[in-house]
Amino acid sequence: MNPSNASNRNSQGGFSIVELMIAMVVTLIVTGAVFGLLSGGQSAFKVQPERTDRQQNIRSALDLIIRDVASAGVGMPSFAQVFTPLVNGSGPAASPFGGGTDELQILANSEGFPNEQACNIDGNRIILRKKAIDFGAGTNVMLLFMDGSWTVKTADSFAQDTGAGSCTGADHVAVTLDGAACAPSATGLGNAGAAASINPTACGVAAGTQCCNVDTEKGLGFGEVIRYRINVDATGIPNLERSVNGGVFQIVARAIEDLQVQYLNQPGAVFDSAPVIDSLGVDFTTLITQVRVTLSARAVTPRLQGATYASGTANAALRGSLTAQITPREALATLTTETGTPKWN
C-alpha cells in the first residue's frame, strides 16, 4: 500500500454521525438558551412599562378620590351623613373578583363656598338675606335646619322678593327649588322632612312634629354630589367614572375593573355600607372617621408575562391594586370638640 494514498484519505475524512449529532445537540442547547434570554428580556421590556402605567393609573384615580373624600361634609352640620348608604355592590359592572363593584357618593363642598344666610322657607322657595345673587340654575344647594337636619336640592331659578320674617321690608333673593324644601333629598343624602324633629328643643317646635325652620345663620350651603362608579365601555374596557351633581359621567381612569369601599368609625367597626350617624350630636362613635377605598386595574395589552385570570374573566391580564384609607377633615374636627378625652388623638 502506498503510504501517500493513506495520508490523502485521512486528510479528507469528515465527522462521524455520532460527532455530528453531538454538535447539533450542543448547538441547539446554546441557541435555545440565547433565545430564552433574549425573549425574557424583550418580555420584561414590554411588561415593566405596562406595570408602571397601570400603577400610575390607579394612583391618579386614588388622588382624586382622596381629595373628594377628605372634603366631605365641609360647611354642613357636624353630625351629618355625607356618604350615600346602600350603594355597595350596586355598580353597573360585575366585579371580576366576586360580587359587584361598589359605588361611592359624597357630598363635598370642595370649593369652600361660604353659606348664605336665610330668612325663611316658603314651600319650595327659600328667601335669602342677599339682595342680589344668582349662582346659576341647576346649582346643587344644601338646606340646613335649626334641629340639625338637612337636605340637598337643586336651585331651579332666582328672583327678587320682598322677603319675610327677619327680611321683611327689603328686597331679597328668592331661590326656587326643585321640590319642597323640607323633604328628603332625591339623592339619598340628608335627613330633613322626617315625621318628627331631630332636636325639637333647638328647633323650637313641639316634640313629635317636623322642624322645617331654616337655620338663618347657616341657611343655604353649596356642595357637590360627587359619584364614582365602574362602567364598561363599548370596547369592553372597564373604566372608573365620576359624575358631579347628576351630570354626565366622565372617565377619570381607564382599565379600572373594581372599586371597593368600606367605612370605619373610631371604635374600629368596619361597614360595607355607610352607617347611620347620630344626628343629635351625642354619640361621637357614630361618626365615619375613615373611608377605605380599593381600586383594582389591569393592563390593556393582553398576553403579558405575569398575566393572571380573575373570576368571571375570559382573558388573562396583568393586574394590580392599591388601597387608600382617607380621613374626612370635617369628622376629624368634630371629634376634637368632644368633652373629656377626645376619641381622636
List pLDDT tens digits, range 78-97: 888 889 888 888 876 666 66
Do residues 245 and 146 share a domain? no
What is residue 276's DSSP assignment? P
The pLDDT assigned to 342 comes to 58
Q: Among 198, 222, 246, which residue terminates a domain?
A: 222
How far, in whole angstroms, is CA 77 from its chain's centroid?
22
Do residues 340 and 243 share a domain? yes
The pLDDT assigned to 80 comes to 83
The pLDDT assigned to 314 comes to 55
The pLDDT assigned to 326 comes to 95
State the chain's mean pLDDT as an integer: 80
CB 182 within 8 A of CB 151: yes
The H or E element containing residue 19 is helix 17-70
Task: Sort 293 into a burial class: Cβ within 10 Å, 0-12 / 13-18 / 19+.
Answer: buried
Residue with cell 348608604: 85
Q: Is residue 28 part of a domain?
A: no
* CA distances from residue 262 to 185, 235, 292, 293 in whole angstroms, order as listed: 23, 30, 5, 7
Do residues 251 and 318 share a domain? yes
**pTM passes above 0.85:** no
The pLDDT assigned to 47 comes to 65
Do residues 266 and 334 share a domain? yes
Q: Which domain holds residue 54?
A: 50-107+230-345
Q: Select the more confidently predicted residue: 218 or 328.
A: 328
The pLDDT assigned to 292 comes to 97
pLDDT digits (tens, 9 = 90+) for 19-71: 778 878 788 887 777 666 655 555 555 666 777 777 888 899 999 999 999 99
Average pLDDT on 280-286 reads 88
User: How many CA atoms lie less than 13 Å away from 114 in the CB half-sphere?
Assistant: 5
* CA distances from residue 309 to 136, 203, 207, 258 in whole angstroms, order as listed: 49, 57, 59, 14
Do residues 235 and 335 share a domain? yes
Do residues 169 and 241 share a domain? no
The pLDDT assigned to 165 comes to 67
pLDDT digits (tens, 9 = 90+) for 181-237: 888 776 667 788 777 888 888 888 888 888 888 888 888 888 788 999 999 888 888
Q: Among 222, 252, 283, which residue terminates a domain?
A: 222
